[in-house]
Structure 1
Amino acid sequence: MIRHFSCACLMIACLAGAATPYLSSTSFAQQPGARQGLPPPAVVIEQIKVQQVSSPAQFTGRVEAIEAVDIRARVTGFLHSVKFKDGQAVTAGDALFEIEPDQLDALVASARAQVARAEATRISAERTLARNRDLFARRTVSQAALDEVQAAFDVAAADVQVAQAALATAELNLSYAHITAPISGNIGRATFTTGNLVGSDSGSLARIVGLDTVRVAFAVKEGLLVTIRQQEASGSNLDPNTLKLSLRLANGTDYDTPGRIEFIENEIDPQTGTVAVRAVFPNPRHILLPGQFVTLYVQEKDAPSLPVVPQAAVLQDREGRFVYLLGKNNIVSQRRIDTGARVGNGWAVNTGLNGGEQVVVQGIQRLAEGMTVQPSEGQPVGGGS
C-alpha cells in the first residue's frame, strides 16, 4: 500500500512540473504520518536467547556388541532340558541347557573304578618293593630281581596317574552336560529343543549378547585423520575427554546418554579411504541393539555461548545481513549482524546482538527503519502479508 501511494505522489509531481525532491518507498515510509489513519502493521517477535554453539561433525554409525557369545555343546548327547525363555536376560552362571548325563555318569564311574584298581596295584607293588629291598640288604635276592620289582612299582604308580587323568577328563565332560551362561546379557532363540541330539558339530545352541554397554563404529575420512595427526605432531594433542558424543536414533529422537571415544584403528581402509573409530555408550535401558544404524554427532564440550537468531528473522542486502529489533513505543530499528554457524533453525550471531533483544520474525517484508508496529508473540493479529 505504501509503495502504491508513493508512486501516485511521484506521478502528480511530474505532471505539475514542480521541483519536489524524489521520495523512494523506503524514505516515504519513514516519514511521520505516512500511515495516518491505518493501524500499525502486525508482526511476530521472538526474544534472542544465548545458547552453547558448536558445529558438530556428523557420522553414520552402527551399533556393535562389546560382549557376545555363541553357546555350543562340547559333548555329544540328547538335549535333556532347556532352562530359559527366548529373549530373556541372563546372568553369568545361570543354567541354560542340560545334555542327558546318563552315559557321562557311567564314564565317570568307570574312570573312578580304574583309579581304585590302579591305586591297589600300586600299593601291592610298593609292598613288594619294600620286601625285596630288605632281602637285597640280606643278600638273598640279586640286584636284577630288585630292579624288576622297582620297575613294576614305577609302572603301577604311572598307571595311577593315567587313571586319575582319565577320571578328571570324565568329570570334565560330565560338567559340560550342564551348560551355563559365560556372560551376562540377553539370550536369543534356542536353535534346538528338548530331545534333539547335539554335539560339538551342531553349531550354536543360542547366542548371548551383552547390552548394558555397546560400541558405535563409524568411519572418519583419511583427510580428517591426517589433520588430527598433524596437530598431534605439532604438540596440540586432541583430548577425547573434551569431546561430546551424542546419538540420534532412527525415529528422529536423541539418545539421552553421552558416549566416549574408545579407540581408533591403526590402518586406513584402502578401498574407502577411511579409518574405523569406535565409541562406547552406556545402554542401561537396552535401547541400542547390535546392528542398529544411528547418527553420531561429535562436538566440543566447552563450546562458546552466543546469541542465536531465528533464520526467519534474518534479511540480507548488499551491505550484509540484518534484523529488525523492537524498541520503545513499539518502534523497530535495523541492526546489522555477523552470523556464524547454523544452530537448528537459526544462526549463531558473532557480533551485533547480545541476547535478550526482541527481534521480528514475521511481517519483516513490510518494515522500514523507525516504523511503529503492533507486536505479538503468537500469530500476527490482522494485517496483510
Structure 2
Amino acid sequence: MILRPRTVCLYALLVLVTASVLSLAVYFLYEPHLHVDLVFYDRNWISKEIDPITPLSGCFRPDRVSPLYNVSDAVYGMKRFEVQAGLPMRMGMDCYALAGTVVSPDDDGQSSRYHHYIAPERRAQYHVYWRSDLSPFGKRQEYMLKSFFATQNIHTSRLVLWSNGDISPNPIIQKYLRLFPDSFTLRTVDIPTLARGTAMEDSKLLQLNDAKAWVDGDLVRLLVLWNHGGMWIDMDMLLTRDLAPLLEHEFVTQWDCYDKIYQALNGALMRFRQHSPYLCEAFYLMSTSSPPRSPSTDWGAILYLRLWRRLLAESIPPFRILPFCFSDPLACRLDNSVPDPFTPDRSDGRWTDGYGLEENGGLDRVLKKIFAVHLHNRWDRPFPQNGWVDRLLLRRYDQQLWEMGIRDEEH
C-alpha cells in the first residue's frame, strides 16, 4: 500500500508530537544525568529523600559526645596531611600526584615496621568482612590478607576479619592466625549486639530480608567502626602501601571521578574513630529515613551525602572525602585509570601516554603512591599470568613476606 504524501506527513507529525509529549513527561518525572551512561533519577524521590535537610540529632553536643572521642583532636585538631583536593581530578595524573603527597613518617617506608611491642587491642584496627554463606574463603581472598601483612606495620596494626559464620576451621585462615597471632584475629558479626546503644537498636531495618546487601554491606561496616574504631577495607581490595598516614582523618571515599551528584561517595575504604559522633548521626539518619530500596546497592552512598549536607548546614566540619584514586584507580577516564586487572598486558608494554607497565615504570610508580586497588568483586576472574597485578603486586607480597621470614607453605 502506497501512502499519500499528506498521510505520511500526518503520521510523521503524530510521531513527533507523541515523542515530544513523552520526552516532556519523562523530563518532569525524572532528572537526567550523564555519567558513563545516561541515568534518570526520580524527581519525586529527590524531593523527598535528597533535597530536605532535617536537623541533626545532637551527637556533637558536649554532653552527648562519648569520653572515648576527643572532638578537639578528631574534628578540629591539626592534621599533617590534607587528603581532599576540592576537584574531581579527572585530568592526567593529578589524583595520583596528590596521593604521593601523603607520605609515610619514615623515609624508606620500612623502618617503622620494627617497633617495640604493642598489645593487639591498642594497635590500629583494620576491619574486613567475608560472608561465609556466599562462598568459601579461598586463594583469591587470601591475596587480600597477603597484601595487608606485606604492606602494613605488623607490630602496630591488627587486621580483624569479620564474618557472619564460623570460618576459623578454614586452613588458609588457620595459617594466618598461626603466622600473625598478635596482628590477625577473627570476629563474628552479631548485628543486634553491635547496634546496642545506637539509634538503630531494635530497629525493624535490621531484619530487612529483602535488603541484605544493605544490612551486610553499608550497615555492618558502620556498626563495626562505631564499636571498635579503625579503618574499614572491603575484602576485594589489594593494598599497595601503608595505610597509617590516613588514620589521622575520618573519611569516606569518592566513588569515582564523574559527577554523580547523588552517588558521589562510598565506604569501600573508610575510617571513623570509636563512638564517632559522625556515626552516631549516621545511625539517627538511618533510623528516621525511608527503608533502603530493594535491591539496594547505593543506599550507603546516599546516606553519606545526606549526612555530609546536614553537617554543613549546622556548621560542623564534615568528614573528609578521600579521592577516588587513593583506593579505586579503576574508576576514572580511559587515559588515566589503571589497566583492567583481569586483562592481559598490552603487547607493547604501555599503559597510557608516556607510562609503561615495566618494573619501576609509570604504572609501578603510581601504585607506590596510592593505597589500594579496588577490584570490584569479580571473584571468579583470574589474574593473567605475568600481568601487571601478578608482577607488580602479588609477587612482591610474597617477596616481602619472605624477607620477613614468612614462607608460603605452597612454595
The TM-score range, normalised by the shorter chain, is under 0.3
TM-score (norm 2): 0.15
Greater per-residue strand proportion: 1
Higher relative contact order (CA 8 A, sep 6+): 1
TM-score (norm 1): 0.16
